[in-house]
Structure 1
Amino acid sequence: MIDTDDVDVYLGLDVGKGEHHATALTPAGKRVFDKRLPNTEPKLREVFTKLRARYGTVLVVVDQPASIGALPLAVARDTGCRVAYLPGLTMRPIADLHPGEAKTDARDAAIIADAARTMPHTLRDLAPSDETVPSWR
């Protein structure tokens, strides 16, 4: 289980090819960021760095750790954020507990962030590997 006692912001990322949707929640559940985020290294770096500077420890949680999720994970690590993965098979039953039936990127990002905040036992730790840390520099 991932220890989240020191986490100040839970950033859920519903990853996509061209852009992601990012939702950040404080431990109390206050939404402090909720926007589309281009899948570019400079923009990811800017958002992660600003969240860390303003709030402290940031846990970035993705729904896909490989391929399209690799760049956000690499940038998050490089900016000093912690990272984790919420598997799809775990996320779907959690999503059923949240209001709304439509599957949208914004809803999924909020569910990822809330699951990280309230159910850290559902998260998987992501150790750096060649598959999840590309040579994007």
Structure 2
Amino acid sequence: MFPILTDAWRWLNRVCGFDTVDSFPPGHPYARTHWNGAYFDIASDLTPEQIEHSICERISNTPSIFVYIGNPTPAMQRALLSLIEARMRRSGGVPAELLAMLINAYRSPYTLDAVPGLRAAIVQSDGDAQQVLNFLGAMPAAFNVIEA
């Protein structure tokens, strides 16, 4: 009787949004993306699009939490790229810590390219931040990434 009640309690918590999630649901295109629940309080009743939007907003507000995301989605990476671009425009310097977080995300073979060819550029440059910035700066403006 007790297992039935605990299963019902878990189901009710999840359906009502009292439980939190730390990955997209199975079968979702970004099912391999996961995050540390201690840094992201994502209610279980949100749709995958709402989850991704919420995480992107949090990255925009506190970019250092990007390190707690495994296999970030292209939208999450673009949120970080826009912060890199904004900091470069403001200060004129390279935000090395943000770029290092992006490069480290590509250590996983399951991280999808936010910009076509980004993984190849990171591998070819052996993770050199300046070469990655040169690659991003050479991208067409339609990708809305860094202008070097």
TM-score (norm 1): 0.31
Higher RCO, Cα 8 Å, sep 6+: 1
* Greater strand fraction, Structure 1 or Structure 2: 1
TM-score (norm 2): 0.30
